[in-house]
Amino acid sequence: MGESLENIARGIDCHTDRHPLGVVAGICPFNFPALVPMWMWPVALACGNCFILKPSEKVPLTMQRVIGLLEKAGLPPGVMNIVHGGRECVDALLEHPDVAAISFVGSTPIAREIHRKGTLNGKRVQAAGGAKNFVILMPDADVDRTVEAVKDGAFGCAGERCMAGSTAVAVGEAGERLLPALADLVSSMKVGPTDRADSQPDMGAVI
């Protein structure tokens, strides 16, 4: 892969090549144990790298299963790897000279520390932290549609996602129009186990 530009200046041709970094790593959170790693390892492997995944110790089995399926499909040993543990594993990845790049998704304080320590060790670092998401409620908003959207945004996936709406700001008379209906809707939510056929909760367990 690359690009060639002929005669960019008198007697000068330019050719660029793209090369894999080598070994790259991903450190992933608990809330989306399959989705977030999927942002990382397929691209890394497609670009010719080997990948080390450090999943959250709270959800170790999801990617263990995925890697087993990859190996069963014929992926060579050592191309896709998994390491389980806490901070000691993260520090080892951040400090190891053979790890060229780190991708992280998680809380903002940890993202800052991983960025600091990874770049200090000469690595490329991609660190995505948390967010404070505001929902602006306008005075002319449709009551039923708005309160349903606010509820889903705040409590979907048990509220454990980066883009969960954690703060609602009412503009003008919006509070008087929307907040009573929102309070009624939220108070009617069912919370309970999601692994039973007879249970249809709006929100399941929180890690």
Digit-coded pLDDT (tens) for 57-75: 999 999 999 999 999 999 9
In terms of pLDDT, which residue wins out, 49 or 178? 49
> Do both 28 and 121 map to the same domain?
yes
First to last CA, the chain: 44
Digit-coded pLDDT (tens) for 98-115: 999 999 999 999 999 999
Residues 6+ apart with CB under 8 A from 116: none
The answer as to whether 202 is a domain residue is: no
Distance CA 59, CA 97 (A): 28
The whole domain housing 160 covers: 133-187
Report pLDDT for 142.
Answer: 92
DSSP state of 34: T
> Do both 34 and 124 map to the same domain?
yes
Specify the pTM: 0.79
Report pLDDT for 2.
Answer: 62
> Do both 42 and 99 map to the same domain?
yes
The CB density around residue 188, as the number of other CB atoms within 10 Å, is 9
Q: Of the listed 14, 28, 89, 162, which one is catalytic? A: 162
In terms of pLDDT, which residue wins out, 67 or 201? 67
Pairing verdict, β 2-9 and 23-27: unpaired
The CB density around residue 18, as the number of other CB atoms within 10 Å, is 9
Q: Annotated catalytic, 89?
A: no
The answer as to whether 86 is a domain residue is: yes
Digit-coded pLDDT (tens) for 151-174: 988 888 888 888 888 888 999 999
The CB density around residue 73, as the number of other CB atoms within 10 Å, is 7
Q: 183 vs 4, 158, 170, 177, 180, CA distance in Å?
A: 62, 17, 14, 11, 5
